[in-house]
C-alpha cells in the first residue's frame, strides 16, 4: 500500500503546485483575517485566551477552504472511477488525502503563525514555539482526518461547497476548544506555562476516534 500512497501523494502535490488552488487561498485568508482582527479589536496586542481563540478559529476557517477542494479534481475529472478500477487498497486514498491536507496545514501555519505573532500577539512567539508546534500537530491531525472524511461525504452532492463546512464545523469544534485551551497558557503575557496534559490527551483521543471512523467508512464512501 505504501507505493500506492506515495503515487497518490505525488499526484496531489503536483496538482497543487501546478494550480495553486488551495494553499495560497488558505494562507491569504488567514493573514487577511489577522489584519481584520488587528483593526476590529482596537487593540495593539492580545494574549492568553483571546490570542489562542483568534489563532485557532482563524486556522479552522482557513482549513475549510482546503477541505472543500480536496476531492474536487477527483470528482470532476474521473479520478474516483480510475482509482476504483485499479487493483489497490482503497485505504491508500484516505491516507494520501490525509497527508495532503496535513501538508497544506503545515504550509498554512508557516505563513499564519508568524503573521499572527507580528500583527496581534503580545508575548514573543519564539518562547512558546516548541510546545505550540506539538499542540498544532495534534490539532492538524484531527482536522486532516475529519476534513478528509467530510470532503468525501460532500463532494458528490450538488451543494458540496456549502455542505462541507456545515458538516465539518460541528465536528471540528472540539479540536478548536482543545487546541485553544492547550495554547492559552503558552501565550500568556505573565508566567506562560506548558499546556495542560488533559487537553493534549483530549486532542489525541479525538484524533484516534475519528481516524478509526474514517478508516471504517472510507471504502463505502468511495463505492457510493
pLDDT one-digit tens code per residue, 101-158:
999 999 999 999 999 988 888 767 777 788 899 999 999 999 999 999 998 888 777 7
The pLDDT value recorded for residue 196 is: 82
- Let me know the angle formed at the C-alpha of 206 by 29 and 48, rounded to the nearest 5 degrees: 55
DSSP state of 196: P
Average confidence (pLDDT) over 8-16? 84
Set of cell numbers at residue 75 = 470528482
* Cβ count within 10 A of residue 160: 16
Model confidence over 210-222: pLDDT tens digits? 999 988 888 777 7
Task: Judge whether residue 163 has pLDDT over 70.
Answer: yes
Give the pLDDT band (50/70/90) at residue 202.
Answer: very high
Distance between CA atoms of 27 and 104, rounded to whole angstroms?
9
Q: What is the DSSP string of 23-52?
A: HHHHHHHHHHHHHHHHHHTT-S-B-HHHHH
Give the pLDDT band (50/70/90) at residue 188.
Answer: confident
Residues whose CB falls within 8 Å of the CB of residue 78, separated by 6 or more in sequence, listed in order? none
**What is residue 121's three-state secondary structure?**
strand
Give the pLDDT band (50/70/90) at residue 78.
Answer: low
The residue whose grid cell reads 501555519 is 109
Enumerate the domain spans of the chain: 2-223
pTM flag (> 0.85):
yes
* Cβ count within 10 A of residue 86: 12
Amino acid at each position: 500500500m505504501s507505493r500506492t500512497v506515495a503515487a497518490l501523494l505525488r499526484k496531489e502535490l503536483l496538482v497543487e503546485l501546478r494550480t495553486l488552488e488551495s494553499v495560497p487561498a488558505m494562507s491569504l485568508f488567514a493573514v487577511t483575517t489577522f489584519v481584520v482582527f488587528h483593526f476590529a479589536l482596537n487593540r495593539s496586542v492580545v494574549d492568553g485566551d483571546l490570542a489562542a481563540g483568534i489563532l485557532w478559529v482563524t486556522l479552522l476557517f482557513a482549513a475549510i477552504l482546503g477541505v472543500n477542494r480536496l476531492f474536487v479534481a477527483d470528482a470532476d475529472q474521473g479520478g474516483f472511477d480510475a482509482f476504483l478500477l485499479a487493483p489497490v487498497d482503497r485505504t491508500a486514498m484516505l491516507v494520501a488525502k490525509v497527508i495532503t491536507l496535513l501538508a497544506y496545514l503545515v504550509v498554512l501555519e508557516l505563513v499564519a503563525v508568524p503573521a499572527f505573532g507580528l500583527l496581534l500577539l503580545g508575548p514573543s512567539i519564539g518562547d512558546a514555539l516548541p510546545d505550540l508546534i506539538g499542540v498544532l500537530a495534534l490539532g492538524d491531525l484531527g482536522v486532516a482526518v475529519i476534513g478528509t472524511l467530510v470532503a468525501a461525504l460532500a463532494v458528490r452532492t450538488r451543494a458540496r461547497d456549502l455542505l462541507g463546512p456545515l458538516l465539518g464545523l460541528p465536528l471540528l469544534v472540539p479540536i478548536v476548544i482543545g487546541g485553544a485551551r492547550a495554547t492559552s497558557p503558552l501565550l500568556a503575557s505573565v508566567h506562560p506555562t506548558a499546556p495542560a496534559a488533559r487537553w493534549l490527551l483530549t486532542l489525541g483521543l479525538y484524533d484516534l476516534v475519528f481516524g478509526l471512523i474514517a478508516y471504517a467508512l472510507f471504502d463505502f464512501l468511495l463505492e457510493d
